């Protein structure tokens, strides 16, 4: 994988580098199977077989049927298709939907869009550690609830939701259950033969695959309305010529993830512990989100009375995300951390460290030193408050 000695990349929750084996696989497909998989000739059949092979690899990772995927441009499109497609399909039965305040923008904004169209959305508040109590979720479901959407792993804090229990409740109540698994697919065990999930979104670039390709798992028999029109591909749910090389890359990334994810999980756990041990004695430091049973690839910390924008600059050459990120273009404090009860000032000093396959123990050690020095520098710079 590419190595840039001038920076220390700890932003794997934003994206991951392309695995070299994935790149090789895609190059082969680009030169040998560049055909349109819908074409009715030997070349088309070759490309269609590449797509089928990728679906089988992804199905093996998630323990499900290869025919249950709709290829999309990424998790954002998959979330849109799942939420709007399911809500619209069932709106004659009811217009009540359930989700959480701490969902990714790619879910939040879709529900906001549906609210403007007359749907009623219940926005569930998590506990201060980011977890959603099962009884709170169950209490929010009504007779007219059609869809609930809860993310598996939170992208800012790494907090894991109990999707098995939430999904079981939905199944009992006849509510469709969608899971945004952008941060979990390919990283932790997601067994769709066991989990009561109807719809699940994922994207390749979060697990060392290419950008621009994702998938929506649609459990057999789950009704969805298409949002795009223009061809018969993918059961008319998502028409358009398939990006064969990207799909092949997603499939190969899934194959590698299936082999590696247990080892990756152990290594990430050790690195998260190493980082936390190296900074937790800093005066005023707090962890955002749950620590127990959380995803080990993400650690989100804040520190009292530090200006966030200056902290981010002082942390260079560390590549990390701030409390205003997820959509880092904005300087607004993170709505996720605000929902966990953090003040604007606490949220703006938050830093998300996220680790991955290429993170070394030395990277973490350097990150500890840089973070400590940055906090010390900014505290030295700050004047005493004058009453």
Partner 1 sequence: MSADPYNQKVRAYFADTAHCGDVEDGAVGYFEDQGMRVRLSAEVEDGRITRLAFRAWACPHVIAAAESVCREFEGRPVAELEQFASAQIMQDLAVPVEKTGRILVLEDSVRSLGHAIRDRLSTKQD
Residue list 309-328, contact with partner 1 (CB under 8 A): 309-310, 313-314, 328
Q: Is 304 in the site for partner 1 (CB under 8 A)?
A: no
* CA dist., res. 242 & res. 35, Å (int): 10
* CA dist., res. 40 & res. 30, Å (int): 19
- Nearest distance, CB of residue 328 and partner 1, angstroms: 7
For β-strands 69-72 and 214-218, DSSP reports them as: antiparallel
Interface with partner 1 (CB under 8 A), residue from 56, 91, 305, 363 = 305
Which CB atom, from 179 or from 378, has the smaller least distance to partner 1? 378
Q: Residue 216: phi, psi to the nearest 5?
A: -115, 120
- Nearest distance, CB of residue 329 and partner 1, angstroms: 6
Alpha helices, DSSP H, located in 33-149: 42-62, 75-89, 105-116, 134-140
* CA dist., res. 295 & res. 268, Å (int): 9
25, 170, 319, 326: the catalytic one is: 326
Q: Is 386 in the site for partner 1 (CB under 8 A)?
A: yes
Residue 150: count other Cβ atoms within 10 Å of its Cβ.
24
* CA dist., res. 197 & res. 213, Å (int): 21
Interacting stretch for partner 1, rule CB under 8 A, among 240-248, 257-265, 273-281, 378-386?
378-386
Interface with partner 1 (CB under 8 A), residue from 67, 139, 259, 382 = 382
Which CB atom, from 149 or from 322, has the smaller least distance to partner 1? 322
Long-range interactions of 185-190: CB distance < 8 A, separation 24+: 185/61, 185/62, 186/61, 186/253, 186/254, 186/257, 186/261, 187/153, 187/257, 187/261, 187/264, 187/265, 187/295, 187/297, 188/152, 188/153, 188/160, 188/261, 188/265, 188/295, 189/261, 190/61, 190/62, 190/152
Residue 336: count other Cβ atoms within 10 Å of its Cβ.
29
Q: Is 383 in the site for partner 1 (CB under 8 A)?
A: yes
Q: Which residue has the tokens 């030997």?
A: 42
Distances (CA, A) of 252 to 20, 54, 133: 10, 7, 36
Interacting stretch for partner 1, rule CB under 8 A, among 8-16, 94-102, 175-183, 375-383?
375-383
Q: Is 283 in the site for partner 1 (CB under 8 A)?
A: no
Long-range interactions of 27-30: CB distance < 8 A, separation 24+: 29/244, 29/245, 29/248, 29/249, 30/245
x-or-dash string of contact with partner 1, 326-345, rule CB under 8 A: --xx----------------
Which CB atom, from 124 or from 378, has the smaller least distance to partner 1? 378
Which CB atom, from 194 or from 344, has the smaller least distance to partner 1? 344
- Nearest distance, CB of residue 105 and partner 1, angstroms: 16
Interacting stretch for partner 1, rule CB under 8 A, among 31-39, 70-78, 273-281, 304-312?
304-312
Cα maximum dimension of the chain: 79
Q: Is 307 in the site for partner 1 (CB under 8 A)?
A: yes
- Nearest distance, CB of residue 348 and partner 1, angstroms: 9
Interface with partner 1 (CB under 8 A), residue from 3, 40, 220, 380 = 380
- Nearest distance, CB of residue 136 and partner 1, angstroms: 34
Is 326 annotated in the active site?
yes
- Nearest distance, CB of residue 282 and partner 1, angstroms: 17
- Nearest distance, CB of residue 205 and partner 1, angstroms: 16
By CB under 8 A, name the binding residues for partner 1: 305, 307, 309-310, 313-314, 328-329, 377-378, 380-386
Catalytic residues, by residue number, are 326
């Amino acid at each position: 994988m590419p190595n840039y000695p001038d920076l220390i990349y700890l932003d794997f929750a934003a994206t991951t580098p392309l695995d070299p084996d994935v790149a090789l696989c895609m190059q082969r497909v680009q030169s040998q199977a560049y055909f349109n998989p819908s074409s009715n000739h030997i070349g088309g059949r070759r490309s269609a077989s590449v797509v089928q092979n990728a679906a089988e690899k992804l199905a093996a990772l998630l323990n499900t049927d290869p025919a249950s995927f709709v290829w999309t441009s990424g998790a954002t499109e998959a979330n849109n298709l799942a939420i709007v497609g399911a809500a619209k399909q069932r709106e004659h039965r009811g217009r009540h939907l359930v989700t959480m305040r701490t969902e990714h923008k790619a879910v939040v904004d879709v529900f906001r869009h549906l609210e403007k169209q007359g749907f009623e959305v219940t926005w569930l508040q998590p506990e201060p550690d980011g977890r959603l109590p099962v009884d709170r979720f169950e209490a929010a479901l009504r007779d007219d609830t059609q869809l609930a959407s809860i993310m598996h792993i939170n992208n800012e804090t790494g907090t894991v939701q109990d999707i098995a229990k939430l999904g079981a409740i939905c199944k009992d109540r006849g509510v469709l259950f969608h899971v945004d698994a952008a941060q979990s697919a390919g990283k932790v065990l997601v067994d769709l033969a066991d989990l009561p999930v109807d719809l699940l979104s994922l994207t390749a670039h979060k697990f060392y695959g290419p950008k621009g390709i994702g998938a929506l798992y649609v459990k057999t028999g789950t009704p969805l309305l298409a949002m795009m029109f223009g061809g018969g591909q993918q059961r008319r749910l998502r028409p358009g010529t398939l990006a064969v090389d990207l799909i092949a890359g997603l499939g190969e990334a899934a194959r590698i993830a299936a082999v590696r994810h247990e080892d990756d999980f152990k290594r990430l756990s050790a690195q998260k512990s190493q980082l936390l041990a190296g900074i937790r004695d800093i005066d005023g430091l707090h962890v955002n989100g749950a620590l127990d049973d959380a995803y080990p690839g993400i650690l989100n910390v804040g520190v009292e009375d530090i200006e966030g924008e200056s902290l981010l600059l002082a942390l260079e050459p560390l590549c990390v995300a701030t409390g205003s990120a997820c959509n880092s273009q904005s300087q607004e404090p993170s709505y996720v951390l605000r929902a966990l009860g953090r003040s604007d000032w606490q949220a703006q000093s938050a830093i998300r460290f996220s680790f991955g396959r290429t993170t070394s123990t030395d990277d973490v050690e350097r990150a500890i030193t840089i973070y400590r020095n940055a906090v010390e520098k900014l505290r030295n710079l700050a004047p005493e408050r004058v009453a």
